[in-house]
A and B are shown apart, each in its own frame.
Chain A
């Protein structure tokens, strides 16, 4: 496919790899923020091509992974109600709640449906006027415009039997949380390309300056990621800490203004709990007062419910780049995609699931040895 295949060209990837080896003189730790990038890095073995001096740690950018336990429980409570059709992206169905997951609700007779787009849920609401349709609105800034539009369309069409359970999170506060942690070892960031396609990258300038970290807006194909790493390492080696845009074919400085405008109309910034991390101030989105009648938490009276997270899973440390998945004693042994302890083992974009899928549990420590560099 155009704009995909050419960015997977092996010869070009090799050239970038050699270039990275040539400019690297010191130890550097980089974080890719987005779970989609984590997946691509492990799938294509990009981390194994890099010099030993470069460590990639995996960031908190998997919305499925960071959705807190209590919101999963709320989803399960709502989905278990008899008159509800609960719609969700597929990834959320297997995320363990306190007692069970959404798939188990479906197995026991609940009407839980996987949809591709929130607009599919709006259509289900139109087709089922005697049912309550709830969409599980998870995601980062990339997905917020889609969920905002679903609500906006529902209002325009006068649809009363549609609501959303909001679990929106924002990337920037998560990056700041990582950087301000005393355990932070991240020296540069690959910023998430599709988040920036919506939001632009002007908001990264103060972060790069304050924490003196290079931030490179990066795409998702192997060449994008290798070029993003090259640009980060070049800045680190030269002592620069700037915001650069590797993914200019999709990302403009101001992002997508029509999308940002509707997100601002429908959502407001709220504090959010992140699974395994805890509450981060001003780190999520909730509905504005004007759209509060679409809030499923209010409609189904689950706002007050809270749940404590189990202590045994280290996904919080993985999400902050402090631990790698294969540094967990349970990884690949007691914790597997079939029997996940935490959400990072569930989502396709979770770091633990990516490591497991691409057999990293078979060799606990991967190095670049043996590739002849």
Chain B
């Protein structure tokens, strides 16, 4: 139910606080999404979309941190000791 899918904003229409919407591309499927809750979102941004609403602009720098975290754990060297 709380599924939210990331998609890329390809156009934005209107500036009314409750009707502002945009076309969002989800890997080739384009849907109209209400953008009222992401007033900061711009064309080209990725947003998380839940039941037709943008809820959050994806932070690209934070998105990479999962992989940085992996490196920081220093697992790359230690992995050689243990194998799955």
**Bound-complex Cα distance A287 to B13 (A):** 30
Point out the residue from B2, B63, B73 that lies within 8 Å of A195, measured CB to CB. B2
**Bound-complex Cα distance A12 to B68 (A):** 11
The B interface, classified by DSSP as helix, strand, loop or mixed, is mixed
Query: How far, in Å, is A295 (CB) from chain B's closest CB?
Result: 20
Please indicate the chain B residues that have their CB under 8 angstroms from the CB of A64 in the complex: 1
| A197 & B79 in contact (Cβ 8 Å cutoff) | no
Residue of A nearest to B47 (CB): A250
Q: B50 contacts the other chain (Cβ, under 8 Å)?
A: yes
Q: A109 contacts the other chain (Cβ, under 8 Å)?
A: no
Total contacts A-B at CB 8 Å: 146
Q: Given that A14-B84, A373-B84 are known contacts, is A142 also in contact with B50, CB under 8 Å in the complex?
A: yes
Query: How far, in Å, is B38 (CB) from chain A's closest CB?
Result: 8
| A19 & B59 in contact (Cβ 8 Å cutoff) | no
The A interface, classified by DSSP as helix, strand, loop or mixed, is helix
Chain B residue total in the interface (Cβ 8 A) = 42
Q: A329 contacts the other chain (Cβ, under 8 Å)?
A: no
**Bound-complex Cα distance A322 to B53 (A):** 35
Interface residues of A in 228-253 (CB under 8 A from B): 246, 248-252
Interface residues of A in 245-268 (CB under 8 A from B): 246, 248-252, 256, 258-259, 262
**Bound-complex Cα distance A143 to B3 (A):** 10
| A19 & B18 in contact (Cβ 8 Å cutoff) | no
**Bound-complex Cα distance A224 to B73 (A):** 15
Q: Given that A17-B84, A18-B82 are known contacts, is A194 also in contact with B18, CB under 8 Å in the complex?
A: no
Please indicate the chain B residues that have their CB under 8 angstroms from the CB of A198 in the complex: 55
Q: A371 contacts the other chain (Cβ, under 8 Å)?
A: yes
**Bound-complex Cα distance A252 to B38 (A):** 13
Please indicate the chain A residues that have their CB under 8 angstroms from the CB of B84 in the complex: 14, 17-18, 49, 371-373
Point out the residue from A140, A149, A152, A262 that lies within 8 Å of B2, measured CB to CB. A140
| A3 & B58 in contact (Cβ 8 Å cutoff) | yes
| B53 & A36 in contact (Cβ 8 Å cutoff) | no
| A142 & B6 in contact (Cβ 8 Å cutoff) | no
| A36 & B59 in contact (Cβ 8 Å cutoff) | no
Please indicate the chain B residues that have their CB under 8 angstroms from the CB of A34 in the complex: 2
| A143 & B36 in contact (Cβ 8 Å cutoff) | no
| A256 & B82 in contact (Cβ 8 Å cutoff) | no
Q: A344 contacts the other chain (Cβ, under 8 Å)?
A: no
Instruction: Map CB proximity to B onto A119-156 as digits: 1 under 8 Å, 0 otherwise.
Output: 11000000000000000001110110110010011001
Q: A17-B84, A223-B66, A251-B56 are in contact. List 17 more A-B contacts (CB 8 A).
A: A7-B66, A12-B66, A14-B84, A15-B79, A16-B70, A18-B79, A22-B82, A35-B2, A49-B84, A139-B1, A142-B4, A143-B51, A156-B18, A224-B66, A227-B69, A250-B59, A256-B38
